[in-house]
Structure 1
Amino acid sequence: MAKPRRKSATAPLRWTHANTLIKGLMADRRYNTALLIGAGIYFGLRIGDILQLRWDQIQSDQFVVKEGKTGKERMVDVHGNFLKLARRVGGQLKISADYPGLVFVHQRSDGNREKSISVTAANKRIRNAFATYGIDSQNASSHTLRKTFGRRIYENNGQSEHALILLSHIFGHRDIGVTRRYIGLTQETISSAYLSL
């Protein structure tokens, strides 16, 4: 009988590392991957929802997304830094701000522009980008980006219980204990306990 496959935990990136990665991707004209990383860290959406984003959504001040997992609608405000990135990429690729096409499609000339890339393909792009630019991350994937978003919100809101409640609501977690584990706080607390002896 085969052993059950164990899930590997992911960890958030430092915000500066995530932004350095985006800058490197832009400099190397890997625009679509830069947008993928940016959408992950600025929106905090699940990868399935990110892959359904359209150009007209990401080049506006806010948009509504229907979450695939929950079926709930969520309003997403687009951060100014991401908006600059999206408009810059749109300009480079000559895509107008009102174009309703999908953002994350196959980049090959013969690729299907009516269908987004798969979650597997998105995670492969993320892993390749991390490896290419020397970003060290435990089990790099789309969860790394979502956790980076969560960690940034937590830190920018004074590392407070209020920030955890807010994130719990954004992520759709049943309680802040799940959120605490999700962004890596529980493991840090345990590690600190060992080191405090």
Structure 2
Amino acid sequence: MTGSTYIDFDQATNIGKKLIRTGDNPNFGLLIIVGINLGLRIDDLLQLTFEQLKKTEITIVEQKTKKQRTLQINDNIKEVLGYFKEGLTYELNGHPFTSQKGSIYSVQHVNRLMKEYFGRNRISSHSLRKSFGRRVWENNGKSDEALTYLSEIFNHQSIAMTRKYLGIRADEIKDIYLNL
């Protein structure tokens, strides 16, 4: 299988929070948390602002599909944003996903940081979106209904495409062999 894989949601949450709390790389920690909780493509994720993240709901137009999408800012995101208000020296109006030089992260830089902090092959910025999808699927009993929702969220043509995208079919086939 080629392409990126998902990251365990709890592992990603822990790494993101640690990067924020320790001050090691708070902006990238926030990107991890926002990425796994909103399920956006990296190009859309990088365009978000602190102002948007402080709201309860935001509406964006996805760059790839040109479709409008409304997103809920959940408690996971609100919690980590609290660290940015509690004395970290950041400009709280502007783009949160910036380097120490103040420029918005490039996709290539995000991919390098993903490999640095998660230390595995097949990890990229896209892994955040896939982690969101796997979490939604697992939280909804691994049901076809969850796949229907995700297919709509991801703008996929079919549930079969969503299954393949999330690596679900590959996991199920592997389990067949392991459970003989």
Give TM-score scaled by structure 2 length: 0.91
Deviation at 1:21, TM superposition (A): 0.8
Deviation at 1:138, TM superposition (A): 4.3
Which amino acid is the alignment partner of residue 161 of structure 1?
A: D
Unaligned runs of 5+ in 2: none
Residue 161 of structure 2: aligned partner:
178
Instruction: Select the residue among 132, 157, 169 that pairs with 2:152.
Output: 169
Which residue number in structure 1 is paired with residue 135 of structure 2?
152
Instruction: Tell me what 2:98 maps to.
Output: 105
CA contact (8 A) 1:130 1:140 kept: yes
Alignment partner, residue 18 of structure 2: 24
| Structure 2 residue matching 1:74: 3-state secondary structure | strand
Aligned equivalent of 2:39: 44
Give the RMSD, CA atoms, in angstroms.
1.7
Verify the 8 A CA contact 2:6 2:123 in the aligned structure 1.
no
Q: CA deviation at 1:157?
A: 1.0
Unaligned runs of 5+ residues in structure 1 are: 1-6, 132-136
For 2:91, the aligned partner's letter is I
Provide TM-score, normalisation by structure 1: 0.83
**1:31-67 CA deviation, whole Å, 9 max, x = no partner?**
1010110111000000000010111011111111110
| CA–CA distance in structure 1, aligned partners of residues 83 and 150 of structure 2 | 29
Alignment correspondent of 1:15: 9
- The residue number in structure 2 matching 1:125 is 113
Tell me, in whole angstroms, the C-alpha distance in 1 between the residues paired with 2:50 and 2:7: 26
- Tell me how far 1:94 sits from its aligned partner: 4.5
Q: Aligned partners of 1:151, 1:81: CA distance in 2, in Å?
A: 17
Same amino acid, percent of matched pairs: 35
Residue 65 (structure 2) pairs with residue 70 (structure 1): yes
Count of residues paired in the alignment: 178
Residue 185 of structure 1: CA displacement? 0.6
Task: Verify the 8 A CA contact 2:31 2:97 in the aligned structure 1.
Answer: yes
SS in 2 for 1:76: strand
Deviation at 1:90, TM superposition (A): 4.2
Q: Which structure has the bigger radius of gyration? A: 1
Q: CA deviation at 1:154?
A: 0.5
CA contact (8 A) 2:115 2:121 kept: no
Q: Is the 8 Å Cα contact of residues 59 and 87 (structure 1) preserved in structure 2?
A: no
The yes-or-no answer on 1:192 pairing with 2:180 is no
Q: 2:77, 2:9 → 1: CA distance?
A: 14
Paired amino acid for 1:69: K
Q: Distance in 2 between matches of 1:181 and 1:90?
A: 40
- Whole-angstrom CA distance in 1 between matches of 2:71 and 2:6: 21
For the residue of structure 1 that corresponds to 2:70, the secondary structure is: strand
